[in-house]
Amino acid sequence: MYAKTVPEWSFVSCARHSARVFFVFYTRDIGVYCAFFCRIFAAILYFFLRISEKSCTFAPQNQNNDTMKKLFTAVLICLATSAHALQVSDSLFISPSDNVANLLMSAADYDSWILNDEFQTTNKPTVLTSKLYRYFKDDFDMIMFITNEQDRPSTIPYYGINSSIANSVKGIGKSIFNYSSYFGSEGKLFSVMYLPYLNAIKYGPTLHEFCHCWANFAIPTVVSGHWGICGGNTKGQLGGFEQSTLMTNVDGIANKYSVESFGVNANGGNSVPYNEMELYLMGMLPIDSVHEFDAFPEVDSESFQYYDESHTRISFLANKRNHYTQASLIELLGKREPDYKTSQKEFRALFVVLSKQPLTSDEWAAYESGINWFCQTSDDGLSWLYNFWEATRGLGSIDPADLSLSLKSAPSGFVDVDMPVDIRILPSTIICSESFRIFNLSGQEVTDLNGSLPYGIYIVRTANASKKVWVN
């Protein structure tokens, strides 16, 4: 079993944390400086390339010069590619590390989204996802929107939310349905989620919202969709207490119980892993791995209170106690199909930051860092936080990478060898051996911007051909 130890907060641990923070910012600055000097070096190489073109004859019989030209061109392209966002359209960008998208909204639409909680109250999510599918293939299992806010807006009454739009899994208490077409998907998408602020990615409820794709639809509890007052081998992402701490007949009262402190719908964001029941419903573990537990679906709410002055235990009066075993769960739900051996464990996710203006380099870095951490398939070195891989005991993974490869108009290279003209791509510039025009993916002509083209994908058209190219 994968486990982490509770940290000992001390001067040493604080010093280590400070050193880590310093290292992150220091190395990030180095990256910025390196990108800057690489572009200067690329410009110098381009200068020498132009000189070499004038002084040398790049003819087929001159193999040495031809090789030199190819070498210069390859190095120039590599070095000219610095850490910039890829502009897909006027309102859609992909991050420098290719793992998160930025979708622009008008100031009025963005403010209304937050003020009126439009993820829940309107059809705006379907409008936004349909817009994304104009450019992206149907490659994603999940889409997660994040508004570009440092803190949770006061008008949003939750820290995260999951809208389940499809389900094909049997035996988890959830009906079979598929409404993905309303969101622009051709059938692959099964969940659309929303986090109202940046820090929710790392500190939660990211794990919690992903868990809602499969739970809790299995057993009745006092909190719909969550574990409420329900036991587990550990506290769960969706709430619930640790079964081993349950005490019965408290104070000599037959229906009075006590457990260690817990939350009825969450247990501290990403600070706890998934418990056995959650992992079973997610398709990560077999039913044989789920230990017996109790759930209390009918509780006197006024009796639910701390049992001791230190607030380490909670007591309550329950009118009903349901005991669950592996056999009773199968009898109630049926066998999970697909089972843990054949269930999907690797998921493709599209993280989309909603904002009024294109993200700054610092904002890109913050989102990239949070998403890379959450999706990394290794121990993060933090004893008090769990990424998805850790929370699933190394059984599950989420892939946010290579978004540009999922574009319907994916870039196919810098030079089209099949095109009967010579095209060269320089920073913000397209050079062609014949008369040509440049269009963005929205169909707008942007030839006048050649020389200062934003980073993105463009269509180069000549009299007899056209080609998609990627300008860096």
Yes or no: say if 197 and 152 are a contact pair by the CB < 8 Å rule.
yes
pTM as predicted: 0.75
Q: Is residue 4 part of a domain?
A: no
Confidence of residue 315 (pLDDT cuts 50, 70, 90): very high
The per-residue DSSP string of 83-127 comes to S--EE-SSSEEE-TTSS-EEEE--HHHHHHHHHTTHHHHSSHHHH
Mean predicted lDDT score pLDDT of the chain: 84
In tens, the pLDDT along 396-423 reads: 999 999 999 999 864 433 333 356 677 8
Q: How many domains does the chain have?
A: 4
Which range marks the domain in which residue 150 is found?
92-214+341-406
113 and 249 co-located in one domain: no
User: DSSP letters of 389-417?
Assistant: HHHTTTS-EEE---GGGGBTT----SS-T
Are both 150 and 244 inside the same structural domain?
A: no
The residue with tokens 């929303």 is 194
Residue 394 domain-assigned (yes or no): yes
196 and 110 inside one domain: yes
| Low-confidence winner among 39-48, 56-65, 199-208, 340-349 (lowest mean pLDDT) | 56-65
Question: Residue 77 corresponds to which tokens in the numbers above?
Answer: 């392209």
Report the distance separating Cα 448 and Cα 471, nearest Å.
15
| pLDDT value at 85 more than 90 | no
Residue 432: inside a domain: yes
Question: Is the pLDDT assigned to residue 432 strictly greater than 50?
Answer: yes
Q: Which pLDDT value is given to residue 409?
A: 62
Tell me how far apart the alpha carbons of residues 406 and 167 are, in angstroms, rounded to a whole number.
23
Indicate if 97 and 178 belong to the same structural domain. Answer: yes
Residues 372-385 pLDDT 10s? 999 999 999 999 99
Q: Point out the domain boundary residue: 62, 82, 102.
A: 82
Residue 223 lies in a domain: no
> Which of 19-28, 36-45, 78-87, 246-255 has the largest mean confidence?
246-255
Same structural domain, 74 and 141: no
Residue with the larger pLDDT of the pair 88 and 3: 88
Distances (CA, A) of 319 to 110, 229, 296, 298, 316: 47, 12, 8, 5, 10
Residue 417 lies in a domain: no
What pLDDT shows up at residue 454?
A: 80
Give the mean pLDDT of 74-89.
Answer: 57
Same structural domain for residues 208 and 100?
A: yes
Same domain, 389 and 429: no
With a cut of 60, say whether residue 297 has pLDDT above it: yes
**Proportion of the chain above pLDDT 70, given as a percent:** 79
Q: Would you state the pLDDT for residue 32? A: 39
Confidence of residue 48 (pLDDT cuts 50, 70, 90): low
Dihedral of alpha carbons 138, 140, 144, 146, sign? negative
How confident is the model at residue 182, as a pLDDT? 96
204 shares a domain with 170: yes
Residue 161 domain-assigned (yes or no): yes
248 and 321, same domain (yes or no) = yes
**CB-based contacts of 241, cutoff 8 Å, min separation 6:** 229, 230, 231, 232, 235, 259, 260, 262, 314
Read off the pLDDT of residues 97-116 as tens digits, 9 standing for 90 and up.
999 999 999 999 999 999 99
Q: Does residue 3 belong to any structural domain of this protein?
A: no
Per-residue pLDDT, 264: 97
Q: Is there a domain that residue 413 lies in?
A: no
Domain final position from 82, 110, 128: 82
Q: Are residues 188 and 101 in the same domain?
A: yes
Q: Are residues 383 and 274 in the same domain?
A: no
Average pLDDT over residues 29-54: 47
Asked which of 56, 82, 108 is the last residue of a domain, the reply is 82
Q: Both 321 and 368 in a single domain?
A: no
